[in-house]
Structure 1
């Protein structure tokens, strides 16, 4: 309990992190319960095309090229964008942590082989590789999640490797070895818990990057055409930006606010998990 209390005290010192957490809470509520209260189906043609925002109270954010409700689209898009961001980050962390832990713990030729394998994925720009993968496997939520995960895990592997290289020399690991604990148990119960802080911080920032990647893919027409996401909405507005600016602005603002909030929370987590900040004041 005291540890949790100290964490929240350090986290709350960062006012930006608190604001970011509030924004994320609002987005999460929209993603979970928003669609149940959305005024319209985001795919339904409910009014005239290109209806400007704030003209009608029932359609506060206006309509798109087909007369679909932008407000409902933003609400529904929160769920898809967050799900893609969270799931792809979880998969990337699973791959990166597993490879980094094995590499850092065993060292030697195992470390060298896994790091050369990691460098293969880093040799190609991540966004370009994601485009190729989605194009090959056809745009869908599954292919987008898999592509983002596959281009996102190398930095995690390198981070975890460096942590394990340091921690495996500590006395508590040597004590566990002398006690006869198995290698998987030492990795999972002794070293990994002590390496969680930087992994958690990196994970929060990776969710933001994943949302941006999904939005970029959708902007290029490589999003799932059957699901409404913020990136899809911005992409569908690219040919009418001057005629209907609101089609891109409102989902774009949703992306910017969510990514900014995740970065602010990441900074707060970094400070909250760093015991050295106890003596600092804001």
Structure 2
């Protein structure tokens, strides 16, 4: 409750929360309330925004409804961001936990394995992975997850290394608890705060990566996303600026809201920062 109270007192974080909540509602209920297909040609191409009440955001290069594309793209962009982050956490947390808890050769082996994925820039590695497999929402999500888990592993490793010598951990060992129980019940719950903050920022990064891949033509050609909309309009920026501006604004607002919420969570979950703010 103290965390919720502290977070609610952070006006900037609450702005990010409400903006993100709006996008989540659009992703959840938008396609149900707005039954227009994002691929259907409904009007003449390059219809400017607010010129036709039936198509408030205008039409794209093929006469497709921009608002329909924006609504359906919200679901795909958020889904890719959330699922890829979840997969990255499922990979990075166990590896970091075992490396930080056991140390020694286990730590060396797992960290050398982690460094293999960090030697190549994440965006370049994601391009290679998607290019090897057929571009689809599954390959894009997998690629983003693969390039996103190393920072999670390193963060969790550091947390476990600092907590494994605490008195409650030593007491659990003396009581005969297994290593798995100590990791899952004693150390991991006490290291969740920085992991939650990192996860919120990872979702924002994943959305940007998906948009960048789609912009380069490596997105799923059968699924509408914000990155696809920008990539399809990149050759007509001067003629129809709104085709790039509208989905770009949606990406910017989503990423900004996630970053604001992440900073708010960091203050709420970090007692030292919360104390400074209250003073």
Measured in 1, the distance between the counterparts of 2:73 and 2:276 equals: 42
State the 1:279 CA deviation.
5.6
State the 1:166 CA deviation.
0.6
Measured in 1, the distance between the counterparts of 2:213 and 2:205 equals: 12
Q: Is the 8 A contact 1:10 1:278 kept in 2?
A: no
Measured in 2, the distance between the counterparts of 1:58 and 1:40 equals: 11
Matches within 5 A, 1:1-282: 4=1, 6-38=2-34, 40-276=36-272, 277-278=274-275, 280-281=277-278
Larger mean Cα displacement after TM superposition, 182-191 or 271-280: 271-280
- Structure 2 unaligned residues grouped into runs of 5+: none
Computed over aligned residues only, the root mean square deviation of the Cα atoms, in angstroms, reads: 1.0
State the 1:238 CA deviation.
0.7
Query: How many residue pairs get matched?
Result: 278
Cα deviation 1:211-249 (Å, max 9, x = unaligned): 000000000000011111111101111111111111111
Measured in 2, the distance between the counterparts of 1:14 and 1:260 equals: 15
TM-score (normalised: structure 1): 0.97
Measured in 1, the distance between the counterparts of 2:143 and 2:27 equals: 23
SS at match of 2:234: coil
Q: Which runs of 4+ in 1 moved over 4 A?
A: none
Measured in 1, the distance between the counterparts of 2:121 and 2:236 equals: 30
- Structure 1 unaligned residues grouped into runs of 5+: none
Measured in 1, the distance between the counterparts of 2:205 and 2:11 equals: 22
Cα deviation 1:121-180 (Å, max 9, x = unaligned): 110000000000000011101100110000001111000000000100000001111111
Cα deviation 1:189-229 (Å, max 9, x = unaligned): 10000000000000000000000000000000000111111
Measured in 2, the distance between the counterparts of 1:279 and 1:12 equals: 16
State the 1:280 CA deviation.
3.1
Measured in 2, the distance between the counterparts of 1:239 and 1:29 equals: 32
